Structure 1
């Protein structure tokens, strides 16, 4: 029996604590299922945030709905939906609960990484698991290093594979994942991703995420202590950036979609509160708060910005589809810039909508019973992932000087 067949048999014997996932077949079905899942997880979103309650049953519903497998290529049994559909699915889920909307970001990122640079074994093996509902978490980023791409975690050769050691933070989704992909550097200082099964000796995930926003992303610290990794579980991730690929903009469009969902939710709750609770200002001489012309004007401005964000998000998905079909320096750069534009507007709209909510709804809206501050807290926390000030620069340099943006996961 070969080493590969042993790994396959080992994975098949690994029983999931939940039924196999539904397999989505089309873009239209993905959108339909996303709306159904969103309606279910929205019911206790505010309570989960207030209590910092990890969304275990909600995440099971989400992953087993088939939505975590919609980017698996068709030749491996997936729907390989358009990137506009992918972004809309995430925005729909994030409007219901942005913590849950963020959790599959790195899972979907790794599906793309496997599509681009996985061996045939890795594609068959991991895509099959994904379609069954297996969830990838992440152990990518580290804390206290010089920069986000300064990776201290190391993987060193040993008989039959590698040994992996390091410490990670911001491990979104890892606490509730089945596998934890880990970014590390190999002996040549190239960036690789090692796939670690939950329960592997030496893997410890600590529930210590204490941010004021995105409180229930199942994140925290990941400790990796001399973990044995079969060579078949190691992906040469640096290849995705050594050449022009869709890897970076795929990562970014999902981030923009989360912020778009937060903006939609903040505007939705603003309208509901103003319609049902807000009093008119005394100088308006009006009966209802929703008749206030200045409030009406600001609501109109927010709606326009949300619709513009939706449009840029959809447009960026179209550019990304082109880059996936025909990856080259020009198409990938155009996709990165289009996604950067969507990320800028989604960031600014989410922050504005989260803040304007209180200005338009009034003091009562700040009461803890409503927990409406979660929208701004979530927006402020999530949008720190990639500073949009650098996206303004990338867009400006591209259109003014024809300078293509750098290739990495943050553009």
Structure 2
């Protein structure tokens, strides 16, 4: 295939958000709109362009841009809240800008002043950045085969990328490739550039409208100005890994909140109590009440750890070092465990407490479980337990990479 999938990409006209409070206020307003037809979008595997435009033009995609470049520079704790709020409305749309935020963090960490000024301004205008980082079929997630080679005054990339979340909706794609020295370089490429092919082939059971499909780089030319030395991200202690994990965990928290919300509403309106309960309404069934209470407590615990993890990143951000970055990674690992587990549990309990009628197709409640099951596969949470235990027992700091 040599032609990109077609999706209407309109010129951005983004509002500029000023601070944390406005970011949370706008997130709630946008979420109310996104939630309205979330089940239908999942069922049809389609997101209208006007919905994506409404989301990015709200200004939420630019809230992490530093203040010196005109952005709100919201705290990491608030960013996690924003992502969770949007994800509770529609987690596919909550996931689409997750890599956008991580790419802005890469620009902050690795970009020159000129690069930062250029790309931060694009983000504030409402340009959407998507990733073309991962590859399928390698021995592990760090096995990258895409190549970056010199070509004239610039460079050329060749390779095949997978799990390219948001690629169909993006104005720009960030393509990861290895240079002649086998060092990772991140190339920002504008949509429509010759040799950049976006394939709309994402067909997972969950997170259906994230457009996490394939991207091809076929003799894709890149100007030196658009290259970022991403291999330097972990030469020194940085928050690149904890930041990525925090934003990922926030999506799972949102999925859990959505599942519990629909569970409570369905139990109140449609579920029936079990005959041995001796009550007239499912909402009065004592065992159901206990289960709902347990879910809420575990979800609030997950949300609290997520907020605490955001605070840990915020504390380390002014002067990251070996110790405070390790503490941030540990805090995020704990949050990731609980958000993963409650997302899966809450989306499963919906059917147990809602009963057979909750499985009818018209409700599309299974999207919560599908979304939780798929998104929590991003990286194995069992290793988060190991990271925390190894620190407590042996004083071993978490590893430095994008998944820690």
Answer whether TM exceeds 0.5 for this pair. Answer: yes
Q: Give the corresponding residue for 1:393.
A: 386
User: In the superposition, relative to structure 1, how do residues 260 and 55 fare at CA in structure 2: closer, same or farther (>3 Å)?
Assistant: farther
Q: Give the corresponding residue for 1:153.
A: 146
Residue 104 in structure 1 maps to residue 104 in structure 2: no
Counterpart secondary structure, 1:54: coil
The CA deviation at 1:169 is: 0.7
The CA deviation at 1:54 is: 2.7
Structure 1 gap ranges (5+): 1-15
Count, aligned residues: 396
Q: Distance in 1 between matches of 2:369 and 2:249?
A: 15
Q: Per-residue displacement from partner, 1:123-169 (whole Å, max 9, x unpaired)?
A: 01100000000000110110001100000001011221111010011
Q: Give the corresponding residue for 2:5.
A: none
Residue 362 in structure 1 maps to residue 334 in structure 2: no
Q: Distance in 2 between matches of 1:48 and 1:212?
A: 14
Residue 69 in structure 1 maps to residue 62 in structure 2: yes
The CA deviation at 1:18 is: 3.5
Q: Per-residue displacement from partner, 1:196-217 (whole Å, max 9, x unpaired)?
A: 1100001111111010000000
Residue 38 in structure 1 maps to residue 34 in structure 2: no
Q: Give the corresponding residue for 1:379.
A: 372
Q: Per-residue displacement from partner, 1:185-228 (whole Å, max 9, x unpaired)?
A: 11111111001110000111111101000000022110110111
Question: Aligned match of 2:160 in 167, 170, 173?
Answer: 167
Counterpart secondary structure, 1:342: helix
Q: Distance in 2 between matches of 1:301 and 1:17?
A: 45
In the TM superposition, 1:342-353 aligns within 5 A as 342-353=335-346
Q: Distance in 1 between matches of 2:50 and 2:335?
A: 31
Question: Aligned match of 2:200 in 207, 230, 253?
Answer: 207
Q: Give the corresponding residue for 1:128.
A: 121
Q: Per-residue displacement from partner, 1:292-334 (whole Å, max 9, x unpaired)?
A: 0000000000000111011001000000012211111101111
The CA deviation at 1:55 is: 4.4
Q: Give the corresponding residue for 1:140.
A: 133
Q: Is the 8 A contact 1:55 1:100 kept in 2?
A: no
Q: Distance in 2 between matches of 1:51 and 1:255?
A: 25
Counterpart secondary structure, 1:404: coil
In the TM superposition, 1:134-283 aligns within 5 A as 134-283=127-276
- CA RMSD in angstroms, aligned pairs only: 0.8
User: In the superposition, relative to structure 1, how do residues 55 and 92 fare at CA in structure 2: closer, same or farther (>3 Å)?
Assistant: farther
Q: Give the TM-score of the pair, scaled to structure 1.
A: 0.95
Q: Is the 8 A contact 1:245 1:323 kept in 2?
A: no
Q: Give the corresponding residue for 1:5.
A: none
Q: Give the corresponding residue for 1:307.
A: 300
The CA deviation at 1:20 is: 1.9
Q: Is the 8 A contact 2:12 2:53 kept in 1?
A: no
Question: Aligned match of 1:293 in 286, 308, 331?
Answer: 286
Q: Is the 8 A contact 1:153 1:165 kept in 2?
A: yes
Residue 322 in structure 1 maps to residue 285 in structure 2: no
Q: Per-residue displacement from partner, 1:207-264 (whole Å, max 9, x unpaired)?
A: 1101000000022110110111000000000111111101001101010000000000
Q: Distance in 2 between matches of 1:175 and 1:264?
A: 27
Q: Give the TM-score of the pair, scaled to structure 2.
A: 0.97
Q: Is the 8 A contact 2:197 2:216 kept in 1?
A: yes
